[in-house]
Structure 1
Amino acid sequence: MAIADKKNDRFKEDYSRKKVKFEIFGEELIEKIVNSSGNSGRVYLPPEWIGKIVKVVKC
């Protein structure tokens, strides 16, 4: 097996769509539906959140 093949083997793992648990500590939670925006998606957040760090988890 060539070296390049060995490097690519680690990307061939079967990543199924199993649910995982995340534990997140924060100040506020907003649940929204993602809207279409061109070739991407968009979620509008409050202006008070500008400059803050946010994390997005797909359920």
Structure 2
Amino acid sequence: MADDKTIKGPQDSSRISMNEDYEVYYWTDKFGISRDRLQEAVDAVGNSSAAVEDYLKK
């Protein structure tokens, strides 16, 4: 099933999809960071939103 583009948050809030612009916007806004910083965090710890949040707190 395709993502519903009318939803403003992620379909699965436990994972971050860097391939969906609306999810990238949601997570960069939530964490107050740039897309590049989000990509750096996902590259470092994977796409788990909890792991990314922990990484960004360091």
TM exceeding 0.5: no
State the TM-score, normalized to the length of structure 1: 0.18
Higher RCO (C-alpha 8 Å, min separation 6): 2
State the TM-score, normalized to the length of structure 2: 0.18
More strand by share: 1
Q: Max radius of gyration: which structure? A: 1
